[in-house]
Structures are given as structure tokens and as C-alpha cells.
Amino acid sequence: MTGFQIFLLVFFGMVLIGSVVTLARGVSPKLSLVTMIVSLAACGATIRPDATTDLARMVGIQRGTDLILYCTVLVMMVGFFLFYLRLRALRRELTEVVRHVAMSEAVERPDGAAHREPRDTEPRNRGSET
Amino acid sequence: MIAAYNEQDVIEPVVRDVQQLWPNVVVVDDGSTDATFDAAGREAKFVLRHVINRGQGAALQTGIEYALRKGAQYIVTFDADGQHRPEDIAAMIEPIADGRCAITLGSRFLGRRAVNLPWTRRVMLRLAVLFTRVVNRMPLTDAHNGLRCFSREAAMRITITADRMAHASELIDLTRRTHLPYQEVPVEIRYTSYSLAKGQSSLEALRILFHYVMARISR
């Protein structure tokens, strides 16, 4: 095995162990499971690169590298989409907070537009705050 | 109710003109970086402020919820940039008050001619209408008109969750889903050089489309 392969193996191995631990602890189970599977596959592909070609042929693709490429793009697209959904949910929650603050600090003038400051004095107050 | 973002120059006269006819004006300042909040506070009866900008859809939702809390029976959304005429508000409320429908949507294409409408903007609007007919299954002549009126019941049923400007199309969607009767009312849009400069560019329109599609997929 080349040095680079060892480095990759160590890296993927650490990710694998980390994901197993997180899974065992019950933290983000779905994400941990996916990470575990992906890092396991990555370890396998590092040790036996030719195995990817066998796998690829099974699904009708000529080269193992092509299979890895397609899978990577697929995983990336799905991953980004899921993060986008999370981001949207976060934005929505943020708006809820901003709305709550806006409501509780609403300014109301009991006499409406009739209460108007003369133009040439300092506008000291905008009317009574509720 | 009027949602405003950085409209310090026009918000005072706009609010003043509306309040002369309809005294209960709610202004929601959507995190403006200029003096919109202060300017609005000098004229409007109710002023709320988003501490950070959340988009017009969110600002409208805040205003609607606040108005409902205050016991509003009819809620009219009105643009802050002077494009709408306060005189049209009565026509927006009347069909609802008569019990003919629960929601009225202003349309610049019905009957009257828009004043100073550039042909490029007219084409963009026609495309938006086509989009609405196909996607929302609701035949509307004007899909992007900010002048709308909701009965109390309709307002309570509608929750605007779209981010940024995508709310315009989502609002049409939500209107359809309430299955409440609606009606388009002819109104006049004033295109001043100020409002045209602030209007949507074609790129904005594309972004709105994208956000709307994403919202549909991830519902």
C-alpha cells in the first residue's frame, strides 16, 4: 500500500469510528448512519480500488471511478438540498422571533394621526408607548 | 396595513393620505436602515418594527397578525411607495362587506388603464399571470398586485411562510387553498419614477420563481 492510501485509510477510519460512536450515543442517528456507510465504502475503495470497477459493472457502468464520481455528485446534491431545507426552517424560526419582538414593542397612538407635532419643534416623542 | 423597507421619503405622505380615509393604519418597518420607522411614527396610528429585515412577506404577516389582535374585521394590504391610490381601498372592502366574497385582489388590468406603464413591465406582468394560471390553477389578471383585502376569517386562515418576495405567488396559492370566495377588483397603479426604480428587475423575477418552486417541492 502506498503512503497516500494509508493516509486515506487513517482518515476514513477515524470518520468511521467517530460515526459509530455518535450512532451509539444516539446523536443525529440518520446522519451518523449515512456517514458510517459512506466512510466504510471509502475504506473499502481505498484498500481495494479494483472492487469499485466490479461494483460499477454490476450497475452497467464501465469504470469504477465513474461510479464514484456519480455517487459523489448524487450525495452532494442530496446533501445540499437537505441543508437548504434546514436553512429555510431556521430562517422561519428567526422570523418568528423578530415578529414576537415587533409585536411586543409595537407603538400605538391612541389619538391616531390627529396627534401631530408642530413642524418647527424637536419631535421629542412619537406619542404614547403602550 | 403597510409594509415598508427603506421608504423614509415617501412613507409619511403615503400614510397621511390613507389615514385621512381610513384611520387605522398599521405600518410594519421591515428592518429599514434609514429613518422609515421615525417617519412612519410621525403619521401612522400603529407602527411595528422588525429588528432585522425578513422580507415583505414576513412584514405583511406581522401586520396582519397585529391587526387581527387589534380586532380588525377587514385588512387591506397597501404598498408603501405610493403606487396605490387610497381611493381604491373602498372598492376593495365593499365586495367583502357585502358578503360576496372573503378576499379581494386588486388588478391593474381590469377595466382601467395603468398610468405610465412601460411596455417591458407590461410583458413581465403578462408572463407572471400566465404562470399563475398554469401553476396555481387560479385565473388572475394581475398576480403581483400588492393591494389586497382580507376578511377577518380569511386573514386568520392564511399564514405567509414564504421568505423574501416569493410570498406574492404563495399568497395566491394560499388564497386558493382556503377555498374562500375571492374577487378581482380594478384598481389604478401609479408608476412614478420613484416606484419604477424600486420595482423588480427581471433577475429578481427569476429568483422569485426559484424560491416559489422550492417552497412547493419542500412542502
> Which among A92, A101, A108 has CB closest to B51?
A101
* B42 contact A CB<8A: yes
Q: Cβ of B62 and A99 within 8 Å?
A: yes
Compute the residue count for chain B. 219
Interchain proximity A99–B41, CB inside 8 Å? no
The whole-number pLDDT of residue A118 equals 47
- For residue B129, the Cα-to-chain-centroid distance in whole angstroms is 16
Report the candidate in B192, B200, B198, B196 with the shortest Cα–Cα distance to residue B85. B192
Which residues on B lie below 8 Å from A127 (Cβ)?
Answer: 41
**SS3 sequence, A18-75?**
HHHHHHHHCCCHHHHHHHHHHHHHHHHHHHCHHHHHHHHHHCCCCCHHHHHHHHHHHH
CB contact under 8 A, A103 and B61: no
What is the predicted pLDDT for the residue at B213?
66
> Which residues, 6+ apart, have CB-to-CB distance to B107 below 8 Å?
B140, B141, B142, B145, B184, B185, B186, B187
Give how far Cα A3 sits from Cα of A39, A41, A66, A68, B70, Å: 19, 19, 24, 21, 71
Count CA atoms within 13 Å of residue B164 on its CB side. 14
**What is the predicted pLDDT for the residue at A119?**
47
Cα B132 from Cα A46, distance rounded (Å): 52
Which residues, including other chains, have CB under 8 Å from residue B116's CB and lie 6 or more apart?
B190, B191, B192
**Residue contact B54–A109, C-beta within 8 A:** no
Give B 69-108 residues with CB within 8 A of chain A: 69
Cβ contacts (< 8 Å) between B48 and chain A: which residues? 102-103, 105-107
Distance separating alpha carbons of residues B40 and B142, to the nearest angstrom: 29
Q: Can you say whether the dihedral through the CA atoms of A105, A109, A112, A114 is positive or negative?
A: negative
pLDDT of residue B108: 80
Averaged pLDDT score across all residues of chain A: 84
Q: Which residues of A touch B23 (CB under 8 A)?
A: 112-113
User: Do residues B199 and B117 touch, judged by C-beta distance below 8 A?
Assistant: no
Q: Which residues of chain B have pLDDT under 50?
A: 162-165
pLDDT at A117 over 50: no
CA distance A7 to A1: 10
Strands B103-107 and B148-151: antiparallel
Overall average pLDDT of the A65-90 stretch:
92
Residues of chain A contacting residue B24, judged by C-beta atoms under 8 Å apart? 112
What is the pLDDT averaged over residues A70-98?
92
Structure confidence at residue B195 (pLDDT): 66
Cell numbers at residue B213, please?
A: 418552486
Name which of B85, B80, B91 is nearest B189 in CA terms: B85
For A86-102, what is each residue's pLDDT tens digit?
A: 998 898 899 999 999 99
Counting DSSP H helices and E strands in chain B, the numbers are: 9, 7
Confidence at residue B102, expressed as pLDDT on a 0 to 100 scale = 93
Identify the pLDDT of residue B130.
80
Query: Angle A64-104/A29-47 helices, nearest 10 degrees?
Result: 160
As given in the structure block, the three cell numbers for residue A55 are 461494483
What value does the mean pLDDT take over residues A16-36? 91
- When pLDDT is cut at 50, 70 and 90, the band that residue A121 belongs to is very low
Asked whether the beta carbons of residue A126 and residue B51 sit closer than 8 angstroms, the reply is: no
* Strand ranges for chain B from DSSP E: 2-4, 26-30, 46-50, 74-79, 103-107, 148-151, 182-186
The residue in chain B having the minimum alpha-carbon distance to the alpha carbon of residue A92 is B161
